[in-house]
Chain A
């Protein structure tokens, strides 16, 4: 049987204490978006060295060695296993897409892919995602992070009607009361 999710306030206290610990030890916070940018750069350079002419890609190889020899990349591997072990222990490990029940899987995958592209592109402009820019920046009192957070949630609210069917489903079930 599935366990219930943690109370959000309790979850916040646990996560906040972890965020403090990670800063206190590693001098930096959580992150994830950089991992995928670095992995993409590494794949491109492996396939063709001329990609190093790209100034953005080159910045990952400044210190020589691999673009993947990076704190956030290693931490991201930990995130994967943490999610796996927690789901396993909670009885929530299951291969399935997440969406409202009646929504077609193919469309769900299409939005997941395009959304992923948009997000990684935008994190290059914003120097991080909701972890590496959002949580880390708010915890270190950064003004820019608040600009980022209001833009993210404001924009998501504005665009939310377009994706209502995917998440909430139709307003009324056909043949319902």
Chain B
């Protein structure tokens, strides 16, 4: 079967057009990050004190929405889901790196994407954060000869949810929707039970 989407992998748009599209979609991404409050480090950090659940709500609904489009388009035979770039699974580096990331996130209140948009809105702490990113990359390059083995350890390749249980992408989709809506529901319930007084 001939798929139409994704356009770039199927050579239906030129590399130049794809680069132009990168600016346009980046702009839209930055715009929405600002509209939803994600350009404010304090607003992001509110998540970890149960003062706001905007972050998990937005992330969860984003994933549910995107995967719903994927599944509909795949069902119609319009998109080749296996052609979408999917990160490989490196178990220990992701576990350790993720925990490090979480520390950095509650410390700084930003992620690289939200800080770039935050700089656009004039946040001075976002600028300082972005300078820190250069420092972190430099440190990684310096230490790379020592940690290269760890960084590429426990590589399971591209591993999707349905690979664990058998079945196809529909199984992954159902699991994803259940996980995301379950997490949002659990957090909303927890927030109701723990701090009735706070917003």
User: Which A residues fall within an 8 A CB radius of B?
Assistant: 5-6, 8-9, 11-33, 35-37, 39-41, 43-44, 51, 54-57, 71-72, 74-87, 90, 92-100, 108-109, 111-160, 162-164, 166-168
Contacts and interface: CB of A to CB of B under 8 A. Distances in A.
Give the contact-size bracket for chain B: 35 or more
B87 A36 contact: no
A79 B26 contact: yes
A143 B31 contact: no
A74 B66 contact: no
B124 A82 contact: no
A147 B109 CA distance: 21
A71 B140 contact: no
B107 A159 contact: yes
Nearest to B19: A74
Contacts of A94: 121-122
A14 B156 CA distance: 32
B79, B132, B140, B172: residue with the most chain A Cβ atoms closer than 10 Å: B132
Given A112-B132, A142-B158, A122 B30 contact: no
B112 A120 contact: yes
Interface of B: 5-9, 13, 18-19, 21-37, 39-43, 45-49, 51, 53-54, 56-70, 73, 79, 81, 83-91, 93-113, 115-126, 128-141, 144-145, 147-148, 150-151, 156, 158-164, 169, 172-173, 175-176, 179-180
B26 A92 contact: no
Given A124-B151, A155-B98, A76 B116 contact: yes
11 contacts: A6-B35, A17-B66, A19-B66, A30-B29, A44-B141, A54-B141, A57-B141, A142-B159, A143-B159, A143-B161, A144-B87
Helix, strand, loop or mixed for chain B's interface?
helix
Contacts of B56: 153
Contacts of A82: 26-34, 117, 120
Nearest to A28: B85
In the A-B complex, list the 9 residue pairs whose CB atoms are closest, starting with the nearest: A116-B132, A78-B26, A16-B65, A12-B61, A82-B30, A115-B108, A151-B98, A155-B102, A144-B89
Given A125-B93, A137-B86, A26 B39 contact: no
A interface, over-half SS: helix
Given A24-B5, A144-B89, 13 more contacts: A30-B26, A75-B25, A75-B29, A79-B117, A84-B120, A90-B35, A100-B42, A111-B107, A116-B131, A121-B136, A125-B151, A135-B66, A167-B46
A96 B123 contact: yes
Which of B68, B87, B99 has the most CB atoms of chain A within a 10 A radius of its CB? B87
